[in-house]
Amino acid sequence: MTKNFNDKKIFFVGSGAIATALGNVLVKTAEHDVTLITIEKEVADSINRDHYNNKYFPAIRLEKGLKASVDFSLLKQEAIVFIAIPSAVVVNFISNRDIHPDSILVNLAKGFGHQHYTIVESLNKLLPNKICSLKGPSFAREIMNNQPTAMTLGAEDGTLYPIFLELFKETLIYTDYTDDVYGVEILSILKNIYAIAIGVVDAQFESPNLKYLIFTKALYEMRNLLILFGGKKKTLFNYCGVGDFALTALNDLSRNRTLGLLIGKGFFTDNISEKVVLEGRIAVNILYNRLLEMGLDTQEFPIIYELYKVFNGTYDISSFVINLLKNNR
């Protein structure tokens, strides 16, 4: 693939908030040829006919050049393909599509792929394509409103980075780069888990001192897990690390923080999206069981240890913070 994108196609698999926001920006500021490919025909029709995504951005008129389709055979064409569907379905969904072998795949989903493997690891076992990860502190609403946004490109092949610099150069999307693809992927999972913990704390205490005490413990634990599983420590200081964690843990637009707030107030079984609960439980359980498989003491990772108990049985949520404070690691 050449570095000139004026004649190259850009596909987003998915028509949700992040796909719509990034796609719209790429059309608006750089006039790229962008199509959202989706299973949601009503959303596709709304985008093509009315230039609105009535499901995710009903009040924002989209660029006329942004297209949508339900025809997944489009993926047979060489393109940059952004993957923006729920993490739980990415591997099966993408591996069962006929994708041009020279297309560059970009994972935007934040979650595990097959078993304890990341999505990029899982797809690399199944597809010949170059596959990278793009993650960072990036609420879709902010991108849609053309606010400056930072993201990290994780790619083993460093020659891909200039391609994305060119892709986003007319936008307010700022990127940094690392070859630590695994680190980018695992941090995007960890930050969601630890944001739940910060939400629990904020639900129970109006104390900045306590919040940032637990925030620091969470960063410490994230760093240890990142290194333990094979990521690079310095990746924590890319946009995908501290920045994305802070955004997710401290901003009320975050679904995972909101989940923590609800759990902390005792509404674990009520008024919580089953999808968000399921994502949290799956990620925590995979990490917890991975630690056991490695022969490690899970109490060495106290936040994971406590969240595992929250998601798997009866738990007195009022003891959550007390238990973390007892552990002086």
Q: What's the rounded mean pLDDT across residues 44-73?
A: 97
Segment 114-171, tens digit of pLDDT:
989 999 999 999 999 999 999 999 999 999 999 999 999 999 999 999 999 999 999 9
Per mean pLDDT, which range of 72-81, 222-231, 257-266 is the poorest? 257-266
Confidence class of residue 279 from pLDDT cuts 50, 70 and 90?
Answer: confident
Query: What pLDDT is stored for residue 4 in this prediction?
Result: 55
Strand partners, 175: 151
Confidence class of residue 2 from pLDDT cuts 50, 70 and 90?
Answer: very low
Q: CATH number of the domain at 9-179, please?
A: 3.40.50.720
Q: At CB < 8 A and 24+ separation, what contacts does 282-290 make? A: 282/88, 282/111, 282/112, 283/111, 283/112, 283/189, 283/192, 283/193, 284/193, 284/308, 284/311, 285/311, 285/312, 286/112, 286/115, 286/116, 287/189, 287/190, 287/193, 287/225, 289/116, 290/116, 290/229
- The C-alpha atoms of residue 254 and residue 247 are separated, in whole angstroms, by 8
Average pLDDT over all residues of the chain: 93
- The C-alpha atoms of residue 38 and residue 25 are separated, in whole angstroms, by 18
Which has the higher per-residue pLDDT, 5 or 155? 155
Per mean pLDDT, which range of 152-166, 220-234, 243-257, 276-290 is the poorest? 276-290
Question: Where exactly are the structural domains of the chain?
Answer: 9-179, 186-326
Query: What pLDDT is stored for residue 224 in this prediction?
Result: 97
Percent of the chain with pLDDT over 70: 95
Which has the higher per-residue pLDDT, 177 or 275? 177
Per mean pLDDT, which range of 105-114, 218-227, 262-271 is the poorest? 262-271
Segment 184-213, tens digit of pLDDT:
999 999 999 999 999 999 999 999 999 999
Query: What pLDDT is stored for residue 271 in this prediction?
Result: 52
Query: What pLDDT is stored for residue 267 in this prediction?
Result: 83
Query: What pLDDT is stored for residue 275 in this prediction?
Result: 65
Q: What's the rounded mean pLDDT across residues 237-260?
A: 95
Query: What pLDDT is stored for residue 190 in this prediction?
Result: 97
Q: What's the rounded mean pLDDT across residues 19-43?
A: 95
- Which of the four CATH numbers 3.40.630.90, 1.10.1040.10, 3.90.470.20, 3.40.50.280 does domain 186-326 have? 1.10.1040.10
